[in-house]
Structure 1
Amino acid sequence: MDAREVAALHDTMRQHGIPGTLQPENPDYPAGPWQVVDHDGKDITEMTLAAAAAAARKRPTRGFVIAR
């Protein structure tokens, strides 16, 4: 994941309550690859991307069903 994709992922994580902290893999080069870490500093990028993709595909559970 590069710096351009970080903003979209951050928005999805915040919207769906997905935990994690986004940070560049190399703090001296923020335009390079980024990762998601948990509170212990463990890389959870793959799990977070999967959770974000699943949340984006999920349909709303509220609403009305009108039979025809």
Structure 2
Amino acid sequence: MDARDVSSLHDSMRRYGIPGVLEPENPEAPAGPWRVVDPVGQDITEATLAAVAAASRRRPTRGFVIAG
């Protein structure tokens, strides 16, 4: 994932409540590759991308209760 994908991924993570921090792999080259890390600094990029993809495929549910 590169810098141009970060904004979209960040928006999706917040929309679906997926935790993680986006940071560049090399802080001196923010235009290069980025990753997602957890609070202790472990790379969770693949899991996050999979969670966002799964959440975006879910159909929204809406329902009504009609009193009889």
Percent identical: 72
> Residue 32 of structure 1 aligns with which residue?
32
Shift, 1:48, TM fit: 0.1
Q: How many residues align?
A: 64
Give me the CA root mean square deviation.
0.9
- Whose Rg is larger? 2
Give 3-state SS (helix, strand or coil) of 2:51's partner.
helix
Structure 2 unaligned spans of 5+: none
Question: TM-score w.r.t. structure 1 length?
Answer: 0.91
Question: TM-score w.r.t. structure 2 length?
Answer: 0.91
Shift, 1:61, TM fit: 1.5
Q: Structure 1: which 4+ aligned runs deviate by more than 4 Å?
A: none
Structure 1 unaligned spans of 5+: none
